């Protein structure tokens, strides 16, 4: 059975059709990934909703260019997968909740064989994982539930990576990996709309 995109990204859970042959899920957690808006060429967050003190506390830094994409992280015997659902858009231009919805959706696949190391991070009110791969990419995930044992996640990853059959893994890795999320055009349009309103308001006040 082939799932259409609407069904595929209707929720954060992985469907059986998304798994490779003999791939099994070892564990999964609700998580958010730090995304640089410049990397995806999308509009920056609205300053009024992301003041400097909030960005410093939650680990996004002083520059107003990082956002969270909320979803679920999975560790399987072949991959680490992050999946974010395509959220529904509220009343355009009026629904303030749109600002907090995912402007990106889809999946990021990181094959275990391509991961160099995983480290833990703690920053004031945030704790999570840094994942470094062979392309020198760093993926930063905030694992949202405070009871999650980050060290246990890393130990499970180490065990899964040792069990990989390299020949089989290489066969599966081609054509299945995806390191980019998809831009939610409606929510991105909504964010740009409000940024323009704010910009015009600032010009008028000068």
Kindly state the tokens that stand for 202.
């600032």
13-61: per-residue pLDDT in tens? 999 989 988 899 999 999 999 999 999 999 988 888 888 888 877 778 7
Residue 133 pLDDT > 80: yes
Of residues 62 and 24, more confidently modeled: 24
Residue 62: how many CB atoms within 10 A of its CB?
8
Give the percent of the chain with pLDDT over 90: 41
Q: Please state which of the ranges 88-92, 117-121, 163-167, 169-173 shows the lowest mean pLDDT.
A: 169-173
Under DSSP, the state recorded for 89 is P
Cα distances (Å, whole numbers) of residue 98 to 63, 70, 89, 142, 198: 22, 13, 6, 21, 16
Sign of CA dihedral 157, 160, 162, 168: negative
What is d(CA 53, CA 183) in angstroms, rounded to the nearest whole number?
Answer: 27
Under DSSP, the state recorded for 62 is S
Instruction: Locate all alpha helices (DSSP H) within the chain, ordered by sequence.
Output: 5-8, 37-40, 52-57, 150-162, 166-173, 185-205
* Most trustworthy range by pLDDT among 13-17, 124-128, 171-175: 13-17
Q: Which domains does the chain have, with CATH numbers?
A: 5-205 (2.30.29.30)
pTM: 0.86
Q: Kind of pairing, strands 115-123 and 104-111?
A: unpaired
């Amino acid at each position: 059975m082939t799932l259409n995109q609407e069904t595929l990204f209707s929720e954060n859970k992985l469907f059986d059709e998304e798994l490779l042959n003999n791939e099994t899920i070892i564990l999964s957690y609700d998580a958010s990934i730090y995304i640089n808006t410049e990397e995806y060429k999308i509009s920056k967050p609205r300053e009024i909703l992301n003041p400097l003190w909030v960005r410093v506390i939650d680990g996004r830094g002083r520059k107003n260019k990082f956002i969270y994409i909320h979803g679920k992280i999975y560790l399987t015997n072949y991959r680490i997968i992050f999946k974010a659902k395509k959220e529904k858009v509220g009343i355009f231009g009026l629904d303030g909740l749109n600002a907090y919805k995912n402007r990106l959706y889809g999946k990021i696949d990181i094959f275990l064989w391509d991961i160099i190391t995983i480290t833990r991070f703690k920053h004031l009110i945030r704790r999570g994982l840094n994942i470094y791969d062979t392309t020198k990419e760093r993926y930063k995930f905030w694992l949202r539930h405070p009871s999650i044992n980050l060290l246990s996640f890393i130990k499970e990853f180490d065990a899964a990576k040792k069990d990989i059959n390299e020949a089989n893994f290489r066969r599966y890795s081609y054509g299945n990996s995806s390191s980019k999320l998809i831009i939610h055009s409606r929510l991105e349009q909504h964010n740009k709309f409000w940024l323009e309103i704010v910009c015009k308001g600032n010009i008028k006040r000068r």
